[in-house]
Homo-oligomer: A and B are copies of this chain.
Amino acid sequence: MTDSGIHEFFRAVSDAIDIPIMIQDAPVSGTALSAEFLARLAREIPRVAYFKIETPRAAAKLRELVMLGGEAIEGPWDGEEAITLLADLDAGATGSMTSGGYPDGIRQIIDPYFAGQREQAVNAYARWLPLINYENRQCGLAASKVLMKEGGVIASEAVRHPLQPLPLVTRAGLIETACRLDPLVLRWGK
């Protein structure tokens, strides 16, 4: 996709709706979006306001995006299961879109950070990182469903094609890693 095609697309969407647009910048899309281009979209297209940055070196990109886009960047956000959350917060992220498995854990990092208690956030990030890392590297999208199934929140952890269910041993590793942190999800439906 060309930058001008992408620009036209978001312009058309922006003209058609009344709510803000969030652009998810992830390598899996196959579409490279430079910080310069994202900042231009934010400046030139009214509803483009939030950015979920999931590329390699996300923190450096967030920093560049905020620098180039200024106030047009209403929401520079961390993503990708929070694997780089602390660095992204340090880079100016004002929020994070993680998976849905353990918002109580993510909150233990974000709340103190924005309350000015960075050291507490650093410690919480270190505490949750083994689970964040296991989800990010071993599981992907299946992790939230597995955790919710395990905690009785949902009845089925089936994933859509072409995704595959987690190998049993990987699933066991996820539960083991999660149990060490006692996330709400494992107790919610019980």
In terms of DSSP, what is the predominant structure of the interface of chain A?
helix
Surface stretch bound by B, among A14-22, A29-37, A54-62: A54-62
Task: Determine if A83 and B133 form an interchain contact, defined as CB atoms under 8 angstroms apart.
Answer: yes
Tally of chain A residues near chain B (CB < 8 A) = 26
State the oligomeric state as a number of copies. 2
Residue of B nearest to A86 (CB): B130
Residue of B nearest to A125 (CB): B130
Other CB < 8 Å A-B pairs besides A126-B126, A126-B130, A129-B130, 4 of them? A57-B137, A83-B133, A87-B134, A87-B173
**Chain A residues in the interface with B (C-beta under 8 A):** 56-60, 63, 83-84, 86-87, 90-91, 122, 125-127, 129-130, 133-134, 137-138, 167, 169-170, 173
